[in-house]
Amino acid sequence: MIDFKSLRNDFPMLRNGIKMQGKPLVWLDNASTTFKPDCVLDAISNYYTHETSNSHRGDYDLCYNMDQKIAEARNTLAKLLNAESKEIVFTAGTTMSINLVAFGYGAKFLKEGDEILLTEAEHASNVLPWYKVCEMTGAVTKFIPLTKEGRLTAENLEKTIGPKTKIVAVAQVTNVLGYVTPIKELAAVAHKHGAILVVDGAQSAPHMKIDVKDLDCDFLSMSGHKMCGPTGIGVLYGKYDLLQKTDPFMTGGGMNARFNMCGKATYLDAPVKFEGGTVNLEGIIGLDAAVKYIMNIGLENINAHEEELKKYAVEQLEKTGNVTIYNKDSEAGIVTFNINGVFAQDGATFLNSKGIACRSGNHCAKILNDFLGTPATIRASFYFYTTKEDIDVLVDAVKHAKEEFLDAYF
């Protein structure tokens, strides 16, 4: 049994009495970014204070040590996803990973009239790169209908997919509604029709066990900062044969085998051919520490804890009678709601006055507004260090929103 509360002591942001608006900080914006434990901060600090060097560029011990650290981090990430280490590409985060697939694979293989299937629930990072690739190639995007609840099902994919579909690109957990997408079933449908499945794992990798071999997805992207790691580092997983076929979309030092004065260049094999220039060494080292830390807690434990928090939050918020919740039944630790009669951003500003950090707006999923029937929502999102007491503070604020805020608002 994990004592989740005691894990809060590992996080300076949680144990140092940080305040917002003079109130103890209640951090409920974990879908946006997460706090960093000491082991991550120490690993980064150790790199700068004792081990600074570049990688792959020197025949001396410090540089060799850095090469070892990168290899170790690749192994850690491979273990996390049940992948091969050569299938792990270090990127700046989910956004860069999806762009890499869009421009390195999509722009190379898509032709006029080919289809890319998305959903209305996707984050901008999993829509806009595909729009850009469509402009370049003449391919088109199509949207797989969601169920009334907002879920993506294999059945709806089957109804939408056709002979021209080459890519299906969807989130494993959507960032507004928090539904878990049946990736394994979607992969089977996509493959039956000769398409590849590109998975946005930004909101799933930090919270649930992922086995890319079992899911049989073709690419999967994730961001370090959403899983206790540093900003500016992330991963693209790709099946190795697909990575080999994908072009690098950034060229430079470290990723080439040779080049000459006739404009000819040959590149190294994946994953290194995607990691041109000096890589984000502090990010890789920090991410390695973060992933080891959360694997030690156990992704299954994290998932179960967050499901419990989600249920508790929905129950307690509903009891206030003051809210509309848009995703009562979703699995992830995300509650998307509005305080009745209050515009979301005003609601979030009111919560801020109570020391509560929640995201408001459209959460970068701008096409979903029509589906939700509201221009903006408040999103409270949890991680394993979130407590029921944090949720109680939110619920209490929502309960008193009417007296404290609405009078002034109208």
Q: Which residues would be at the binding site for ligand PLP (CB under 6 A)?
A: 31, 93-95, 123, 125-126, 171, 175, 200, 202-203, 223
| Closest separation in Å from C-beta 221 to ligand PLP | 7
Number of Cβ within 10 Å of residue 191's Cβ equals: 15
- Among 48, 100, 124, 81, residue whose Cα is nearest residue 295: 81
Least distance between ligand PLP and beta carbon 119 (Å): 11
Minimum Å gap between C-beta 203 and ligand PLP is 5
- What is the C-alpha separation between 78 and 72, in angstroms, rounded? 10
Q: How far is the CB of 181 from ligand PLP (least distance, A)?
A: 11
Shortest Cβ 95–ligand PLP spacing (Å): 3
> Exposed, middle or buried by CB within 10 Å (0-12, 13-18, 19+), for 231?
middle
Judge whether 364 counts as a catalytic residue. Answer: yes
Comparison of 236 and 401: residue with beta carbon closer to ligand PLP = 236
Query: CB–CB of 384/4 below 8 Å?
Result: yes
Yes or no: say if 302 and 384 are a contact pair by the CB < 8 Å rule: yes
Q: Which two tokens stand for residue 365?
A: 């999923």
Q: Measured from the CB atom, is 172 or 320 closer to ligand PLP?
A: 172
- How much is the CA Rg of the chain, to the nearest whole Å? 22
Q: Alpha-carbon distance 216 to 12, whole Å?
A: 38
In the complex with ligand PLP, which residue's Cβ is closer, 93 or 276?
93
Task: Round to whole Å and give the CA distance between 408 and 84.
Answer: 58
- Closest distance between ligand PLP and the C-beta of residue 51, in Å? 26
CB-wise, 224 or 355, nearer to ligand PLP? 224
Q: At what angle do helices 299-320 and 388-399 cross, to 10 degrees?
A: 20
Residue closer to ligand PLP, measured from CB, 169 or 351: 169
Taken in order 393, 397, 400, 403, the sign of the CA dihedral is: positive
Sheet holding 359-361, edge to edge: 323-325, 334-339, 377-381, 359-361
CA distances to 46, 91, 383 from 42, in Å: 6, 22, 21
Q: Looking at beta carbons only, is 198 or 393 nearer to ligand PLP?
A: 198
286 secondary structure, DSSP code: H
Rounded Cα gap, residues 252 and 1, in angstroms: 48
| Closest distance to ligand PLP from the beta carbon of 337 (Å) | 18
For ligand PLP, give the closer residue by CB, 178 or 355.
178
Active site residues: 364
